[in-house]
Amino acid sequence: MGFESGTMSFLRYAVIGQSPKMPDEDLLKKLADHAIKPSETGLPEEVEYGWCGPRHLLDPSFDFEHCVFNDCLFFALRVDTNKVPSEIRHAWQVIEEDALAKTNPSGFISKQQKRLARETMNQRIDEELRSGKYRRSKHIPVLWDLPNGVVYGPSSLSVREKLTELFSITFGLELEPLTSGNIALRELERRGRRREYEDFVPTRFAKSPQDPDAPAEYPWTIKADGVKDFLGNEFLLWMWYETAHRAGTVKTTDSEVAVMFDRSLQLDCVFNHTGKETLLATGPTRLPEAIDGLRTGKVPRKCGLIVEAPSGQYNLTLTGESFAVSSLKLPDIEQADTPRTLFEERINLLRDFSRVLDGMFYSFLTTRCQGWNTQVSQIQKWVASHVKPVAQVA
């Protein structure tokens, strides 16, 4: 995920509870107490996980020098998977059965010998797992911005569950993924407008060609009470419309941000009728296929963006519903005397990016609460205006 160098990929999490505002020795000790450890039985579990130092997979260090930067705590989640592939298990089973079958005059293996072959295979599996031959390890950096109460961590659902569980056990605090729906709820609650959030329903920007009366379902969003992650997809479409009508800019509460859709655009059907479509091109929203997708009931799910903020240019890919960011390239840092200075400057830029992204989303939420029907009508007319006239046959 490259927090200290390269591009960044992450999902943001809100820290719920009495979170400390500054790193201290107590936090470092808690990390060390819940570091990943070898199995006490010698036979590893199929999946094992715990904390490790941020520098590499075998890093045992939890100290200020390597884990504290700019009022942030930097560490890593290590996940070990210990599993013999099913193809290998099957091969061992067959080899054992063939060896036993040769001892029988008939050439066939008995039921008792099958059980014996299975026991022999299981013993071999245990030996191989104890040796570590089939251990596969992942090192997943985690950045905890303590003053802002935000954790930057993995977006993968399977790893996300391990992170939230271990974080709770270690610090006694909960992590809430900052998906588009959760961000909207937190922001509108802050404004005293939770009722409007609760009244939000998915927007139908176009009719389904298969069923003109079909409601917009956004089937990829979680179907649960109070979860409205379809707002992220609507935000991407709103931003697409805004940039098309505001000379490539999106207005926030205190400024205007230059935004360009670039490299990739993934569309999906809100009616679950026509499926996904991925467009790869410079300026993919300008392709005829993009507007055709909107016309048939598709909305953006993921897109490449170039965001020009006061601190510089950010290149990234944003997933609408989860608000997961991938391949975030920060502006160049011209002066950094030490690796520590460089990392702390990158943290400052990461914080700035988060403020800019949230600022644009908050502007969308304001529109979503006030005059949304008018905005939707304008978007529908804009999409319809791209229809090419049918050529007349002489």
Q: Which domain holds residue 268?
A: 181-384
Residue 111 shares a structural domain with residue 240: no
Domain end point (choices 146, 177, 208): 177
* pLDDT of the residue at 111: 86
Mean confidence (pLDDT) of the chain: 92
Under 8 Å between Cβ of 301 and 268: yes
Residue 139 shares a structural domain with residue 100: no
- Count the domains in the chain: 3
C-alpha–C-alpha distance, residues 89 and 87, integer Å? 5
C-alpha–C-alpha distance, residues 284 and 294, integer Å? 13
Taking the CB of residue 175, how many other CB atoms lie within 10 A of it?
A: 23
| DSSP assignment letter at 200 | -
**pLDDT tens digits, residue range 76-98?**
999 999 999 999 999 988 898 88
Write the CA distances from 352 to 67, 133, 306, integer angstroms: 21, 44, 15
Residue 292 shares a structural domain with residue 185: yes
Residue 114 shares a structural domain with residue 195: no
**pLDDT tens digits, residue range 32-41?**
999 998 776 6
Is residue 393, in this structure, part of any structural domain at all? no
**pLDDT tens digits, residue range 10-22?**
999 999 999 999 9
Report yes or no on whether pTM surpasses 0.75. yes
Residue 16 shares a structural domain with residue 72: yes
